[in-house]
């Protein structure tokens, strides 16, 4: 078990009020692991490409890390986030689904001792339900919410069927977040490269 954990806040940009999650991960977490923790905390299924953009002290500039374009650097996604995040370098952008363009700000809030009573990652806070996968980005999500609020809208019934009756855009409970083992999905990715 790691001796320390990193507390990060992930905020989905352009949402008002903000949709966000606070996640604690082991300090030796890799970018792939952080991506999967964000996916799980948001409620997405890792169906699309993603990319982190963060300052690299070693390269003295911004670097892109993730499953992006053809210049995918297989090694960086499996590097520890601690090589880039620090108390002096706290922010990264996380871009998920290059079609829907879900842009997030990931902020390192603090580094704290790991608690042996907890398993990591863990979601400790957050607000509002995540937009459903493939809902058209932030603007499509807001259009979806307008349709949900209007029972007379011609797409209302179809949307309810797609979402399920239980979807509540204001609901989020961190205790309901289930984290997958990142190594399982990593096997599928590494077989492609």
What is the CATH number for 80?
3.10.290.30
Strand duo 102-113 + 61-67: pairing = unpaired
Domain count, the chain: 2
42 close to 84: Cβ distance less than 8 angstroms = no
The overall average pLDDT reported for the chain is 89
**73 and 105 belong to one structural domain:** yes
**78 and 106 belong to one structural domain:** yes
**17 and 33 belong to one structural domain:** yes
For 23-77, the pLDDT digits (tens) are: 999 999 999 999 999 999 999 988 888 999 999 888 889 988 887 654 555 668 8
**8 and 51 belong to one structural domain:** yes
Determine the average pLDDT of the residues in 146-166.
89
SS3 of 95, please? strand
**Structural domain containing residue 137:** 131-170
């Amino acid at each position: 078990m790691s001796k320390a954990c990193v507390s990060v806040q992930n905020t989905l940009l352009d949402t008002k009020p903000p949709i966000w999650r606070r996640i604690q991960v082991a300090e030796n977490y890799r970018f792939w692991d952080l991506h999967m923790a964000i996916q799980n905390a948001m409620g997405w299924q890792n169906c699309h490409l993603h990319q982190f953009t963060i300052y690299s002290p070693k390269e003295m500039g911004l670097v892109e890390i993730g499953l992006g374009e053809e210049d995918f650097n297989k090694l960086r996604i499996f590097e520890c986030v601690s090589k880039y995040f620090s108390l002096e370098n706290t922010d990264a952008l996380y871009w998920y689904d290059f079609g829907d363009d879900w842009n997030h700000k990931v902020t390192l809030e603090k580094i704290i001792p790991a608690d042996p009573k907890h398993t990591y990652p863990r979601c400790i806070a957050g607000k509002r339900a995540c937009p459903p996968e493939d809902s058209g980005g932030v603007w499509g999500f807001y259009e979806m919410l307008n349709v949900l609020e209007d029972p007379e809208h011609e797409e209302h019934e179809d949307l309810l069927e797609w979402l399920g009756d239980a979807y509540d855009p204001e609901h989020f409970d961190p205790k309901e977040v289930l984290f997958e083992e990142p190594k399982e999905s990593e096997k599928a990715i590494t077989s492609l490269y």
